């Protein structure tokens, strides 16, 4: 990877973010005292935040078939949840991707096992519950390379399904979640996945939605920290339609050894800070009817040489007739080691029955970050379309096609064609 000139000076611009947290907390307390309303699902956070994922997987409708012999198992899970407060699930996802690239590898495949849960231990009846949130994973390739590396292997500046790697065992979540004001405020602290609490939108999940990183959190214009990073986030409703999320954490995280984060957080002192304010038509449609502005700042990273930088994301989605979900998303970054400097995405989701089969198409224009890759590279254009088939309430199959124009690091090939098949089972 060609690098441009780097600014290695560590930024200390963290005080405004802490001030925003304080102001947000005071404002939230005032509005909550006026209304006193119970928060509704989904909770504050993205679609893959553990509480949200557990709830969303319960709402699947209109599958092609079911497996009645599994009913005793799911009945046992509900009994455990009701009697102990432990809500859990395990899943396995598999992905194959092929391409017509004339350089590097032309296909990749991998699998991922996950076990995750939310264990409500205090305040279960009050609405101000405190819970231990956890998620462990094993990521493994099947062939020569995993899908995460296929983009750069073909000369495309971007990641294809970045979670599908060969990282082995990882602890991606281990944190405490505390709700206040009958669920209208949530504080999380511990080892987090920043994408659960930043740039929140409905089609952000790389396990459930688009495969290309340009259509996930940050639109490929943010150098987000690894999951399992030590930090905190505070989220809440400023009013019935306005929410705010803010936080910070360690950018030197290592999900294969999360407890080393205590050393890097307190001694290396290199942080990622973020704040987001959003507007929605109602709390029930937070992920679907959503306009938000996300701001972030990242310190220089001594381990990788990435410079300090900052950026923003402006995102808008609209839920129409409980069927259509058009969206437009723009992201800009200044340095910080990101893939893209400017990124604009347009797309449309289509789900005729809420919680059932899902089709979506999207387009992205991306300007490659000159600080990261050098000058003179072509802008990239990306198309992606997928159809998630809900075979049963617990099994989904997703064929996907991508068309990549002007892969910046492969000037000999004007376009790339990618095809993939993703399978997911959750129990």
pLDDT tens, residue by residue, 17-51: 333 333 333 333 333 233 333 333 346 788 899 99
Please give the pLDDT value at position 360: 97
Token digits of residue 184: 């209208």
pTM for this entry: 0.85
- Closest by alpha carbon to 188, among 167, 201, 173, 205? 173
CATH of the domain at 370: 2.40.160.10
In a domain, 8, yes or no: no
Give the separation between CA 409 and CA 411, rounded to whole angstroms.
6
In a domain, 172, yes or no: yes
In a domain, 5, yes or no: no
- Closest by alpha carbon to 134, among 211, 53, 234? 53
Please give the pLDDT value at position 128: 86
In a domain, 1, yes or no: no
Please give the pLDDT value at position 3: 37
Beta carbons of 115 and 136 less than 8 angstroms apart: yes
Q: Max CA-CA distance within the chain?
A: 63
In a domain, 3, yes or no: no
Give the separation between CA 162 and CA 148, rounded to whole angstroms.
4
Q: What is the DSSP letter of 375?
A: S
In a domain, 88, yes or no: yes
Please give the pLDDT value at position 64: 87
Please give the pLDDT value at position 16: 36
Mean of all residue pLDDT scores within the chain:
87
- Give every residue of the chain whose pLDDT is below 50, as ranges: 1-42
In a domain, 10, yes or no: no
CA angle 298, 299, 305 (to 5 degrees): 110
Number of domains comprising the chain = 1
In a domain, 2, yes or no: no
Please give the pLDDT value at position 43: 66
Domain of residue 412: give its range. Answer: 15-426
């Amino acid at each position: 990877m060609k690098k441009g000139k780097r600014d290695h000076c560590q930024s200390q611009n963290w005080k405004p973010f802490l001030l925003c947290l304080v102001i947000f907390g005071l404002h939230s307390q005032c509005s909550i005292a006026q209304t006193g309303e119970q928060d509704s699902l989904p909770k504050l956070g993205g679609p893959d935040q553990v509480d949200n994922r557990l709830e969303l997987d319960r709402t699947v409708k209109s599958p092609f078939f079911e497996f009645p012999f599994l009913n005793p198992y799911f009945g046992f899970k509900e009994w455990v949840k009701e009697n102990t407060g432990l809500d859990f699930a395990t899943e396995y996802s598999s992905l194959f991707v092929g391409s017509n690239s004339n350089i590097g590898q032309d296909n990749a495949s991998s699998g991922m096992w996950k076990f995750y849960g939310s264990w409500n231990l205090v305040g279960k009846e009050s609405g101000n519950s405190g819970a231990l949130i956890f998620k462990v994973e094993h990521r493994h390739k099947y062939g020569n390379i995993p899908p995460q590396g296929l983009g750069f292997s073909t000369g495309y500046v971007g990641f294809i399904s970045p979670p599908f790697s060969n990282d082995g065992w990882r602890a991606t979540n281990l944190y405490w979640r505390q709700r206040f004001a009958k669920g209208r405020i949530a504080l999380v602290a511990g080892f987090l996945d920043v994408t659960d609490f930043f740039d929140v939108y409905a089609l952000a999940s790389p396990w459930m939605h688009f495969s290309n990183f340009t259509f996930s959190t940050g639109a490929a214009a943010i150098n987000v920290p690894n999951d399992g990073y030590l930090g905190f986030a505070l989220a809440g409703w400023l009013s019935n339609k306005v929410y705010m999320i803010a936080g910070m954490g360690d950018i030197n995280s290592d999900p294969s050894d999360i407890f080393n984060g205590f050393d890097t957080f307190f001694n290396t002192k290199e942080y990622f800070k973020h704040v987001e304010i959003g507007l929605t038509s109602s709390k029930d449609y937070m992920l679907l009817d959503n306009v938000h502005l996300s701001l972030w700042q990242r310190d220089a990273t001594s381990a990788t040489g990435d410079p300090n930088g900052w950026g923003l994301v402006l995102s808008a989605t609209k839920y129409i007739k409980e069927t259509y979900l058009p969206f437009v998303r723009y992201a800009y970054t200044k340095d910080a080691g990101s893939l893209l400097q400017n990124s604009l995405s347009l797309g449309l989701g289509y789900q005729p029955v809420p919680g059932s089969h899902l089709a979506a198409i999207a387009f992205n224009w991306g300007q490659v970050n000159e600080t990261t890759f050098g000058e003179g590279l072509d802008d990239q254009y990306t198309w992606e379309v997928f159809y998630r088939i809900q075979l049963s309430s617990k099994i989904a199959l997703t064929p996907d096609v991508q068309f990549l124009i002007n892969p910046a690091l492969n000037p000999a090939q004007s376009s790339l064609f990618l095809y993939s098949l993703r399978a997911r089972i959750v129990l």
